[in-house]
Amino acid sequence: MKNFSPRAFVALLLILASVPLPCAAQGCRSWAEALAKSFFPHQIDQKGLYEFANVPPQEYFREAVKIEEKEFGDSIKNSRLQEVSDDIQLRLSTALKRFYGVGSQLYGEQLNPDDVGVIPEADVNAFATGSHIFMHAALMQYFLQPADYLAGIVKAKNGEITSAQYGDIHAAFPWQDDWDSIYFILAHEASHNLMRHRDEMTLGPVLTMFADYEQSVRNYRKDLANSHTGGVKRYLWQSMKNFSQEVQNAEQQRNREVEADTVGLLILQRSGLNPEVALTAAERMDMLLGGGNANGWQAGMTEVLCSTHPDWVVRIQKMQTSLNCLRSTGNLCENHAPYPVEKLLPQLREGIARLDGYQEETVRIAEGKSSSAEVFESEVNVDPKDATLQIDGRIASPGKVQLPLGPHTVSAAKDGYRQQELQITIFSDVQPKVKIKLKKL
């Protein structure tokens, strides 16, 4: 499945830097590049985040479809112009109608089975955009006339092909008119649309940005409480968190491919087709695309971080497990559901409203405008230990102190040392733990 990269609709602009381009990996070519990216601060588009949170789900879906049609306009046009027989187009549309009919019953999704076509692409691939499905011409030829497809590659590279070479290719790839495999690929892409994987790839970065925004709001309160900024430790912690997110993003993308395989099996079964054909399709894809990976830990790390699709051998193993459940129970091993856009967008709006309230409370308390008389325990220490400590102009003993909500001036002094003063703030959920270290004159 190609990744969807929206380019319009102002409320979606904030995710452009996060969503990978079609057919790209996780935006990295190697594990080192992914690690390096983690050390660049994530930019939070607060205005865009607020705009996105206020988009009603139905408006989001309408605009997403418009952007999809604009983004893939050339592919949609080419799918109508690609020279395929009426029989091929009819077989694709008819099969997809059955698949979407099953999907509607299982998941409540309504999709148009006419939004499928063949585009003149030379690599063996297919992709779903959220509403449309595009089968590459090379994929169709590979399954319908594999020897001719591969012979064409050899001829393009060498300028000619002998009858003996053609015979060898035909012996290695002997099938003809393998529509069963094409139906599995079609069911796989239909599952991407039914599971709303496009929306998951769109909203995932938005939710990550919201989490970063939430952390920044909470860090602001911590900084006010302790009279300092995060510094190197927080930067390193955030960088490691970003790196961990890169790993999770890559894993989630591979999981979407596995989910499309799995749901595709169920769709085949409920459509009256044999889901076992998926194994043949996967094995034939592996014959062409599998293997060739470099060895070593660096290659392994790059695979973990940058690969968007699991290895075909892994996918076959997972499909065998799902097929076992289908054989024994008639159902998949676990339930699958479309990405819950209708639930997540209101939750995002509620989350931002909650953070607004939290931030307003932070400012109010920091400005000394809290009406609460409740006190909280904090810890204030000095170095040297015999320095005189004052809190709000009163002598205090170093260590744990009880202070009310709001700002407090803390100072320390000792003969022969430079006096130091700082501002701390007491919050109900963040109590300072500070140490004033004096410098000699």
301-312 pLDDT, tens digit per residue, is 334 345 556 788
Assigned CATH class of 375-440: mainly beta
Q: Give the C-alpha separation, 72 to 21, whole Å.
A: 12
Q: Select the highest-mean-pLDDT range: 29-38, 48-57, 110-119.
A: 110-119
pLDDT of residue 394: 95
114 contacts: CB under 8 Å, gap ≥ 6: 93
More confident site: 340 or 7? 340
Q: Residue 128: beta bridge partners?
A: 133
Averaged over 356-383, what is the pLDDT?
94
Which phi and psi (to 5°) does residue 86 adopt?
-60, -35
Residues of the chain with CATH 2.60.40.1120: 375-440
Whether 259 contacts 190, CB under 8 Å: no
Mean pLDDT is lowest, of 277-286, 289-298, 368-377, for 289-298
Alpha helices in 136-178 (DSSP H): 137-144, 146-158, 163-172
Whether 243 shows a pLDDT value over 90: the answer reads: no
pLDDT at residue 142 is higher than 70: yes
Q: Distance of alpha carbon 140 from its chain centroid, rounded?
A: 29
pLDDT in tens, 316-368: 999 999 999 999 999 999 999 999 999 999 999 999 999 999 999 999 999 99
Percent of the chain whose pLDDT exceeds 70: 79
| More confident: 133 or 245 | 133
Q: What is the pLDDT of residue 12?
A: 37
What's the average model confidence in pLDDT over 86-98? Answer: 94
A 10 A CB-CB count for 277 gives: 19
Between the two ends of the chain, the Cα-to-Cα distance in Å is 67
Q: What is the mean pLDDT of residues 367-396?
A: 94
Spatial separation of the C-alpha atoms in residues 311 and 307, rounded to whole Å: 9
Mean pLDDT over 263-286 rounds to 96
Residue with tokens 């769709």: 267
| Pick from 163-177, 265-279, 294-308, 382-396: least confident | 294-308
Q: Which of 124-133, 151-160, 387-396 has the lowest mean pLDDT?
A: 151-160
Give the per-residue pLDDT at 238.
55
| Predicted confidence band of residue 18 (pLDDT cuts 50, 70, 90) | very low
Handedness of CA 292, 265, 171, 122 (dihedral sign): negative
When pLDDT is cut at 50, 70 and 90, the band that residue 83 belongs to is low
E runs forming strands in 309-438: 375-383, 388-391, 394-396, 399-404, 406-413, 417-418, 420-426, 433-437
Q: Which residue did the predictor score with more confidence, 4 or 128?
A: 128
